[in-house]
Chain A
Amino acid sequence: MPRLRQLSRIQLPPRAKSFIPVGYYRDPDYPVQLNYEEYEVFRLLDYEGLTQAEAALIMKVSRPTITRIYERARKKIAQAVTEARQLIIEGGRAFFDGDWFLCERCESHFNNPLNEVVENCPLCQGVYLQQINDRI
């Protein structure tokens, strides 16, 4: 049995949990699942414009691993766009760079750099918080 893939480091949680197509030919019953590390590689390479070597340093995996993850991410995104399927961002082998929370009241994401006990949202003082790290 091959060993499990190394955990990839994620810096920011994605802003959306999923993307839903609109239109006559959409196929809502068969979503495509994009893993957290695939989303992060796609963001670092295509949105931030980093090289694969730079992304590998940030995500704490090897450069060939980045290539493989990126290949998978592109295939999945192309499949979702072409076949008009929902794209869900969840799962994978990754860990967050620190604790991240989502406030259900103001819908903000925030981190906890000082590792304090978090009971309220720092912006709106809302008490209904989700720990994003648990989603992986």
Chain B
Amino acid sequence: MRIVVPVNGSDNNAVISRHFARSTHFAIIDKLAGTREIIENPFASVSKGAGMKLVDFLLNKYKVNTIVAFELGLKVQQVASGKKMQLIIISGKMKQLKHVLTLIFPNDEQIKK
């Protein structure tokens, strides 16, 4: 299971973005391998249709099959559902990437640093 989380920042204290396609970075979390990497958003400056391009990019290059976000735009949601990706809409209590990592890896202290 490979999960993508939109974040504004490049470490575990990064704030989870309220707008999927406009986040500055993405955290790619591999649940089975127990890894997380943070990549820059290559479509951050694209004015229109960034969400749909992003879903294709994340799916093809990073083999992401799950999107964790606070809010998803209509088009991102439609494209992701069409590609059979799982959507997880998190509660507003989860503010930072470390909160999501704590849920996914409750016993792994290394990855949360």
Contacts and interface: CB of A to CB of B under 8 A. Distances in A.
B46 interface: no
Contacts of B78: 11
Interface string B54-98: 000000000000101000111001100100111111111110000
Interface string A99-136: 00000001111111110000000111000000000000
A98 B103 CA distance: 25
A52 to B, nearest CB: 15
A112 B88 CA distance: 10
Given A15-B92, A108-B91, 20 more contacts: A11-B77, A11-B81, A48-B73, A48-B74, A58-B74, A98-B81, A106-B90, A107-B90, A107-B91, A108-B89, A109-B88, A109-B89, A110-B88, A111-B86, A113-B84, A113-B86, A122-B66, A123-B68, A123-B100, A123-B104
22 contacts: A11-B77, A11-B78, A15-B89, A15-B92, A44-B74, A48-B73, A48-B74, A98-B81, A106-B103, A107-B90, A107-B93, A109-B89, A110-B89, A111-B87, A113-B85, A113-B87, A122-B66, A122-B88, A123-B100, A124-B103, A124-B104, A124-B106
